[in-house]
Amino acid sequence: MFISAEPRPPREVRDRTRPQRRTLVYVCASAFFALFGAVYEHFGHGVWSYYMVYAFAVPLFCGALPWALSAAGVIPPPGRLSSRFQTYAVAVLTLGCLLRGVLDIYGTSNRLMVLYAAAGLCLLCAAVAAYVAERVGSGRPDGGK
């Protein structure tokens, strides 16, 4: 077990900074995938794919945007379950875009690629349903926070 010399900040401080930290993580992921798509396109010998070029948009709009709205106080922050479903949805949709982009650039296709979109959308719907259930279950629009 590791014992830190510096104590952890109180939970209420961590919860206040959580939306800002998550927004930063998703913005960095978007920047990484934009750079990855640009490098992959550069070495693709003139062949490119919309899926690869716009793969950065999934973490930007499905990840950073909701957390930025939460950090700004427009919407209450999601709970643990909806946050995890959102993270899984962003990961599956981004991976699906990258793989589809690779297959497009390579010049082939695969029927199973539609499963990434279906699974990602199901996870995104589960995240929205969990978010709504967290708000309704508490009886307060702000989720009881």
What is d(CA 57, CA 59) in angstroms, rounded to the nearest whole number? 6
How many domains in the chain? 1
Question: Is 38 a member of any domain?
Answer: yes
As a three-state string, the secondary structure of 10-75 is: CHHHHHHHHHHHHHHHHHHHHHHHHHHHHHHHHCCCCCCCHHHHCCCHHHHHHHHHHHHHHHCCCC
What was the pLDDT predicted at 107? 85
Question: Is 17 a member of any domain?
Answer: yes
Contact 83, 63 (CB under 8 A): no
Q: What is the pTM of this model?
A: 0.83
Give the contacts of 98 (CB within 8 A, at least 6 positions apart).
Answer: 33, 36, 51, 52, 55
Question: Is 132 a member of any domain?
Answer: yes
What was the pLDDT predicted at 100? 93
Residue pLDDT tens, the chain, 145 long: 556 666 666 655 556 788 999 999 999 999 999 999 888 888 877 888 899 999 999 999 999 999 999 999 899 999 999 999 999 999 999 999 999 998 988 888 888 899 999 999 999 999 999 999 998 876 655 555 5
Question: Is 62 a member of any domain?
Answer: yes
Q: Which residues span the domain enclosing 95?
A: 12-138
**Which residue bears the tokens 């539609």?**
114
